[in-house]
Amino acid sequence: MIQILIVIAPLFLIIFASAILQKFKNLGADWQKVLNEFALKIGLPVLIFTALVGTKFSFTEEAPLIIANSALIIASFILVFLIGKIFRIKKQTLKTLFICFAFGNVAYLGIPVLIQVSGEEILPTASLIVAIYLFWIFTIGIGYLDYSIKEKTEDIIKDIIKGLIKNPLLIAVVLGLVVGSLNITMPTILTKSLDMISASVTPTVLIVIGLFIGSSKIGKLSEWSPVLLFSAITLMALPAIFYFGLKLLGISPAQFSSSIIQAAMPLAITPFALADKYKLNKTFIARSVVLSTILAAVSLPFWASIL
């Protein structure tokens, strides 16, 4: 585990250094906004596209990966919904947990961690896992949130389709698979330009996470109990269910090591951006992003060392 911790440590060093810089130097919201826009709309899509262009994709070969990750995400949606109904959780809390349990930081943190642990060759697999998460989150996840605030089914379906079509990461996956499957050779000058952008992505997304943590308010320690419980479940319980579920089915967890590590990711920043629109618990989300990311510095090396 110490070796894995040393491998992953540089990623969290950048995150925590950015957080400290934001906390004491007060860089302002503009830095976070601009870097986040670059990472989401340019950097990560380019990284994913370039990873998939040179990959021969087969739905038959990738079916186990797609099914396993889809099953975990859908199961998390169902579990939260059932627990909410059984224990009569307040509507706002139910909606918040519904989207947060499935919304791990598989793109911003997941891709850098997997590259750091397994090398650049893992990028196509990591990109496909990201696509699976985004598909279900922007269909079932956002669909449920839309249902909670809208009455017309037509509006919900429109929002889901619009969200999928406009999502730059999903667009990058589709374009990458199409170009790769057609064996289209891109000009060298273009590939070199894309490689330069790709090289800037990892430090950028790590800085964005750090700036978010640094700009978050701490509050009272007594208010962090639910956040600690949520973080423990997402960082340890969910990947453990995935891990032992595969063992029960007679499947070696090592075959799905990338998927299990992605399932162990801390909460992503995106639910915080959705909080106002869907009337979610913004304070809980912000604190969960902060605490789960900090604890992930220990939990991710643990899972990586096991796998």
Q: Any idea what the CATH number is for the domain that residue 170 is in?
A: 1.20.1530.20
Q: What percent of the chain has pLDDT over 70?
A: 97
What was the pLDDT predicted at 61? 83
Task: Give the residue from 296, 290, 226 showing the smallest Cα distance to 261.
Answer: 296
Cβ count within 10 A of residue 216: 18
DSSP letter (8 states) at residue 186: P
Confidence at residue 300, expressed as pLDDT on a 0 to 100 scale: 95
Residue (of 36, 19, 7, 205) closest to 111 by Cα position: 205
Angle at 296 between CA 291 and CA 98, to 5 degrees: 65
pLDDT, residue 152, reads 66
Distance CA 99, CA 73 (A): 10
**Do residues 140 and 74 touch, judged by C-beta distance below 8 A?**
yes
Q: Tens digit of pLDDT for each residue in 53-63?
A: 877 777 788 89
Number of domains in the chain: 1
DSSP secondary structure letter of residue 39: I
265 pLDDT more than 90 = yes
Side-chain half-sphere exposure of 169, counting CA atoms within 13 A: 22
Are 274 and 86 in contact by the 8 Å Cβ rule? The answer is no
User: Mean pLDDT score of the chain, rounded to an integer?
Assistant: 89
Q: What is the pLDDT of residues 103-121, one digit of tens each?
A: 999 999 999 999 999 998 8
Bridge partners of residue 104, in order along the sequence: 267
Write out pLDDT tens, residues 135-170: 999 899 988 988 888 766 667 788 788 888 888 988
3-state secondary structure of 240: helix
pTM: 0.88
pLDDT of residue 85: 84
pLDDT tops 70 at residue 260 = yes
Please state the rounded mean pLDDT for residues 257-275. 93
Lowest mean pLDDT among 190-194, 217-221, 236-240: 217-221
Q: pLDDT tens, 24-70? A: 877 776 888 888 889 989 999 999 999 888 777 777 888 999 999 99
Show the domain range for 273: 2-306
